[in-house]
């Protein structure tokens, strides 16, 4: 790697030292992507020679290929030709709960989810009824924080989020998003929102960028999450002068070299290479993978078990990606590109 290429453009003299788990990162990415392509044919049984991937649940090598991201892209963002404000509103409302069933409930109740027909009291009534039945309205994929307990005493988490959405509508926040000139500017706008930390702000930034109302490169910058930091510490014995963001950028830029060096036949996403968000996400999954493959490497969290086992979802996904990526026509051709 060119030592001058980092997120900050600074020269890094001491390079990171890979651990014995480093190669597992590339092998996992390759095999998980192979399983992804197999999943596109519902008549075929999932097959992998990797026993860990065969037993446990892992997200896809590409973030946009996961079921929830696919639903967001196809059914929330591109369901109709929404205005920029309505599109960004829909994205954030969906992602605050990050649960398909919750969105479908709201959509079935209110028909069309737009700023015009959004109502804190009406949405709260529907969601409160679900909670009273002891059903979950939030995804367990990652923790969505609520407001300050002292400031919002007696306010339920979903009520806080609905009020938060209402305040963003009032402040014209969803209009401001479309005027951003960089992906990082959107990130900082989100980071200023109450209760949003660095991880969520970055994830939501990527979600906004799936729309056709803004168009920035996913390789502009990256914000490592807790899981990716754990995976990085497992794949590298020493980070040298690099921070976690530098490591993710290095992996993104050197992906072809490592796949070739290890003799791995990695099939990318119909010509789209792994981007920063994907390599960041892969570190999260490799963190879990290493708990079984390399149990002697403890990482930061020192977690030793993978909780979720793989179960086949009966409903196949009709894959659809942001049209600006120009790969959707290749899906129908059922072709893969190295």
Question: What does the H/E/C string look like for the chain?
Answer: CCCCCCCCCCCCCCCCEECCCHHHHHHHHHHHHHHHHHHCCCCCCCCCCCHHHHHECCCCCCHHHCHHHHHHHHHHHCCCCCCHHHHHHHHHHHHHHCCHHHHHHHHHHHCCCCCCCCCHHHHHHHHHHHHHCCCCCCCCCCCCCCCCCCCCCCCCHHHHHHHHHHHHHHCCHHHHHCCCCCHHHHHHHHHCCCCCCHHHHHHHHHHHHCCCCCCCCCCCCCCCCHHHHHHHHHHEEECCCCCHHHHHHHHHHCHHHHHHHCCCCCCEECCECCCHHHHHHHHHHHHHHHHHHCCCCCCCCCCCCCCCECCCCCCCCCCCCCHHHCCHHHHHHCCCEC
Q: Which residues contact 172 (CB under 8 A, 6 or more apart)?
A: none
Average pLDDT by stretches of 10, the chain with 338 residues: 43 89 98 92 76 94 97 97 97 97 96 95 97 91 79 89 97 96 98 95 98 97 96 97 97 98 97 98 97 92 83 84 97 65
Question: Which pLDDT belongs to residue 20?
Answer: 95
**How far apart (Å, rounded) are the C-alpha atoms in residues 97 and 144?**
8
Closest CA to 231 of 16, 20, 21, 17: 21
Question: Which pLDDT belongs to residue 7?
Answer: 47
Domain boundaries, the chain: 17-65+222-333, 79-209
Closest CA to 211 of 59, 79, 49: 79
Closest CA to 247 of 19, 28, 15: 15
Question: Which pLDDT belongs to residue 4?
Answer: 39
**How far apart (Å, rounded) are the C-alpha atoms in residues 218 and 174?**
20
Rounded to 10 degrees, the C-alpha dihedral 134/137/141/145 comes to -100
Question: Which pLDDT belongs to residue 3?
Answer: 35
Residues in the chain: 338
Q: Is the dihedral of CA 17, 21, 24, 29 positive or negative?
A: negative
Which residue in the block uniquely carries the two structure tokens 């980070």? Answer: 239
Distance of CA 241 to the CA centre of its chain: 27
The Cβ of residue 255 has, within 10 Å, a number of other Cβ atoms equal to 19
Tokens, residue 257: 């070299």
Distance of CA 153 to the CA centre of its chain: 31
Question: Which pLDDT belongs to residue 254?
Answer: 98
Model pTM score:
0.92
Question: Which pLDDT belongs to residue 29?
Answer: 98
């Amino acid at each position: 790697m060119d030592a001058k290429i980092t997120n900050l453009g600074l020269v890094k003299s001491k390079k990171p030292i890979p651990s014995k788990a480093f190669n597992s990162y590339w092998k996992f990415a390759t095999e998980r992507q192979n399983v992804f392509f197999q999943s596109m044919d519902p008549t075929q049984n999932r097959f992998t020679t990797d026993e860990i991937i065969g037993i446990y649940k892992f997200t896809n090598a590409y973030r946009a290929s996961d079921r929830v991201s696919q639903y967001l892209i196809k059914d929330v963002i591109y369901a109709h030709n929404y205005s920029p404000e309505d599109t960004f509103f829909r994205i954030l409302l969906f992602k605050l709960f990050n649960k398909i069933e919750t969105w479908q409930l709201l959509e079935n109740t209110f028909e069309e989810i737009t700023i015009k027909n959004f109502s804190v009291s009406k949405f709260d009534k529907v969601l409160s009824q679900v909670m009273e039945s002891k059903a979950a309205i939030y995804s367990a994929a990652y923790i969505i924080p609520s407001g300050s307990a002292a400031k919002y005493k007696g306010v339920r988490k979903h009520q806080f989020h609905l009020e938060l959405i209402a305040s963003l509508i009032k402040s014209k926040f969803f209009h401001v998003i479309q005027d951003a000139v960089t992906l990082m500017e959107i990130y900082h706008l989100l980071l200023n929102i109450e209760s949003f930390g660095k991880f969520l702000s970055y994830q939501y930034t990527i979600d906004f960028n799936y729309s056709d109302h803004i168009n920035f490169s996913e390789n502009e910058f990256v914000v490592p999450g807790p899981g990716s930091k754990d995976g990085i510490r497992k794949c590298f014995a020493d980070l040298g002068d690099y921070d976690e963001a530098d490591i993710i950028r290095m992996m993104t830029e050197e992906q072809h070299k490592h796949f070739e060096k290890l003799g791995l036949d990695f099939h990318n996403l119909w010509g789209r290479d792994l981007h920063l968000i994907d390599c960041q996400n892969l570190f999260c999954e490799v963190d879990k993978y290493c708990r079984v493959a390399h149990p002697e490497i403890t990482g930061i969290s020192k977690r030793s078990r993978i909780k979720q086992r793989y179960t086949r979802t009966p409903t196949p996904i009709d894959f659809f990606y942001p049209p600006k990526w120009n790969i959707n026509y290749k899906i129908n051709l059922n072709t893969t590109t190295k």
